[in-house]
Structure formats: structure tokens, C-alpha cells
């Protein structure tokens, strides 16, 4: 009998620590499936920093490095330059990438560093207590914004659209934004990840896939409610699709 679907070889068959309804587990599986399909488990390295992403090395069955908070792009840069034939995955959350590590990601992208960033955007700080993140939506509540994000009267600023920001830089070659709220978007997100990984293996410039993900615990919601909230609030603001694709001569979208 032919096996059509099974547990990815690049993902350990163990229970995860992630909260019920969290999208990290789905994203892990997508990464592992693509690595298996490309046959590069032995040449894959993930860099996962402080935050919920710090657990990633427990689940992926290939090499990993845990850099300090926000410094993941710097570590990925060094690893990729030393091992250019390896797949280097920079796995970051929105607090790590868009706040603590803003300078790191912008300059790595502008230099055209040849690693792939998987950017998990759940619009809030996860592991550290549900504080407002740079991606928190206007009006969205957080422990540091109990009345909702107020960009004007409270001086909290506006949510950052990271893909659109990085799209202005010459070193970025492929930027896409997916989501893990339903089967259709999960399938599309996997296609974006595979396209980014293949571009990296060809030696293209900077590639990144942003993934909108649920955080029921810090949003104060049940898992089903969190999926609906993402669909109604995050997706209208953070548009899904390929934000920039210069891999095959396509114009920026």
C-alpha cells in the first residue's frame, strides 16, 4: 500500500508545548513538509530566538541555533555565509522581528542576505505576557494597552506592515504573506514557503514569508473565536499574497 500522507521526517513525533489553537504547530509542519519534499533535512538549519519560537528546536529534527532576542538575522547571516549550500531558516515572531530586532532585519534584507525568514505575526507578544507589539492593530487590547491601541491620544503609533516596508529595499527578492486560519490559506502558505526555500537554494537574495497566526491565550479568546477574529480583523489590514516577487521577472505586486 502506498503511503500518501504521514508525519514529516523533519519534525519529531512529540507533543508540543504550544497553547491550544496556536498556529506555530501548523507552521512547523509546513516547514518540515517542504524540507522533506526538497530532500534537504541534512542541510537545514533553523535559528529561533527568545519568544514562543524558542521551542522550535525541540520539534524540528535538524540543526538549530538559539540567538539572543532580536539578533536572529545576524546569526542567520553568519551561518549562511559560512555554509552557503545549506538552507538557513530565520524563524521569528512579531515582537522579535519588528521591535527588538528591527534594525537587524532591515539591514539583513537590504544587504540581500541569502537566508529565508519565516515571520510569525500574531499581532501581540506571546511568551512574555501579551504586551502590545509593533503589529498590534488599532483598537486591539493588550496588557500594555488595556483600552486598545490608540495611535494618537495615547501616542502608541500605528501597526507596521513589515512586508510592505521591506519591499522598498533593493536586497529583497521574494516577500509573501500567508495565514493558517483555514485549509485554503494553509495550502497557499506552504506554496510561499517552498518558493522562498527554492529561491534561497538557487542563491537568490533575501526571502521572507510572513504568516498570520492565531494567539487565543493572549487575545483572551477560545480557539474558534480567534480564527474568526483573525479573518475579520487581521487579514483586511495585512493583505495576503505575494507582496514582492522579482525571482522570475515579475513586477512588484
Phi, then psi, of 185 in degrees rounded to 5: -70, -35
Does pTM top 0.75 for this prediction?
yes
> Number of C-alpha atoms within 13 angstroms, CB side, residue 145?
28
How many whole angstroms separate alpha carbon 158 and alpha carbon 145?
A: 13
DSSP string, the chain: ----S---TTB-SS---SPTT-SHHHHHHHHHHHHHHHT-GGGEEEE--SSGGGGHHHHBSSEEE-PPTT-HHHHHHHHHHH-TTSEEEEEEEHHIIIIITHHHHHHHHHHT-S-EEEEEE-SS-TTTTS---TTPPBT--BTTBTT-B-SSTT-------HHHHHTTSTTEEEEEEEE-SSHHHHHHHHHHHHHHHHHHHTT-SEEEEEEE---HHHHT--HHHHHHHIIIIIHHHS--EEEEE-TTSPPP-
User: What does the block give as the cell for 29?
Assistant: 509542519
Query: Average pLDDT, stretch 81-106?
Result: 96
CATH node for 24-245: 3.40.50.970
Give the pLDDT confidence of 54-69 residue by residue, as tens digits.
888 899 999 999 999 8
Is 2 exposed, middle or buried (CB count within 10 Å of its CB: 0-12, 13-18, 19+)?
exposed
The model's pLDDT over 28-56, given as tens digits with 9 standing for 90+, comes to: 999 999 999 999 999 999 999 988 888 88
Give the chain's mean pLDDT. 94
The residue ranges of every structural domain in the chain are 24-245
* Burial state string for 135-156 with b = 16 or more CB within 10 A and e = fewer than 16: bbbeebbbeebeeebeeeeeeb
pLDDT band, very low/low/confident/very high, at 248 (cuts 50, 70, 90) = low
The pLDDT-based confidence of 2 (bands split at 50, 70, 90) is: confident
pLDDT digits over 114-167, tens only? 999 999 999 999 888 889 999 999 999 999 999 999 999 999 999 999 999 999
Percent of the chain, pLDDT > 90? Answer: 87
Across the beta sheet with 116-121, what order do the strands follow?
A: 63-65, 44-47, 87-93, 116-121, 206-212, 172-179, 241-245
Q: Is 94's pLDDT higher than 80?
A: yes
Residue 165: burial class (beta carbons within 10 Å; 0-12, 13-18, 19+): middle
Task: Answer positive or negative: Cα dihedral of 186, 191, 194, 195.
Answer: negative
| CA atoms of 215 and 53, how far apart (whole Å) | 13
Q: What is the pLDDT of residue 18?
A: 93
Amino acid at each position: 500500500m502506498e503511503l500518501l500522507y504521514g508525519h514529516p521526517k523533519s519534525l519529531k513525533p512529540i507533543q508540543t508545548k504550544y497553547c491550544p489553537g496556536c498556529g506555530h504547530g501548523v507552521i512547523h509542519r509546513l516547514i518540515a513538509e517542504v524540507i522533506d519534499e526538497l530532500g534537504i533535512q541534512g542541510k537545514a538549519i533553523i535559528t529561533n530566538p527568545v519568544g514562543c519560537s524558542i521551542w522550535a528546536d525541540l520539534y524540528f529534527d535538524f540543526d538549530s541555533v538559539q540567538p539572543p532576542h532580536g539578533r536572529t538575522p545576524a546569526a542567520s547571516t553568519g551561518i549562511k555565509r559560512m555554509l552557503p549550500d545549506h538552507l538557513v531558516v530565520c524563524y521569528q515572531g512579531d515582537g522579535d522581528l519588528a521591535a527588538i530586532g528591527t534594525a537587524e532585519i532591515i539591514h539583513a534584507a537590504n544587504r540581500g542576505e541569502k537566508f529565508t525568514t519565516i515571520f510569525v505575526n500574531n499581532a501581540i507578544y506571546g511568551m512574555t505576557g501579551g504586551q502590545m507589539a509593533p503589529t498590534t492593530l488599532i483598537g486591539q487590547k493588550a496588557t500594555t494597552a488595556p483600552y486598545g491601541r490608540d495611535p494618537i491620544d495615547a501616542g502608541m503609533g500605528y501597526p507596521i506592515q513589515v512586508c510592505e516596508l521591506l519591499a522598498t529595499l533593493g536586497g529583497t527578492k521574494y516577500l509573501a504573506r500567508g495565514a493558517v486560519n483555514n485549509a485554503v490559506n494553509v495550502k497557499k502558505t506552504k506554496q510561499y514557503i517552498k518558493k522562498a526555500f527554492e529561491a534561497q537554494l538557487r542563491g537568490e537574495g533575501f526571502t521572507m514569508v510572513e504568516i498570520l497566526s492565531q494567539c487565543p491565550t493572549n487575545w483572551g479568546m477560545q480557539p474558534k473565536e480567534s480564527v474568526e477574529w483573525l479573518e475579520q480583523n487581521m487579514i483586511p489590514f495585512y493583505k495576503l499574497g505575494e507582496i514582492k516577487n522579482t525571482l522570475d521577472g515579475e513586477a512588484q505586486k
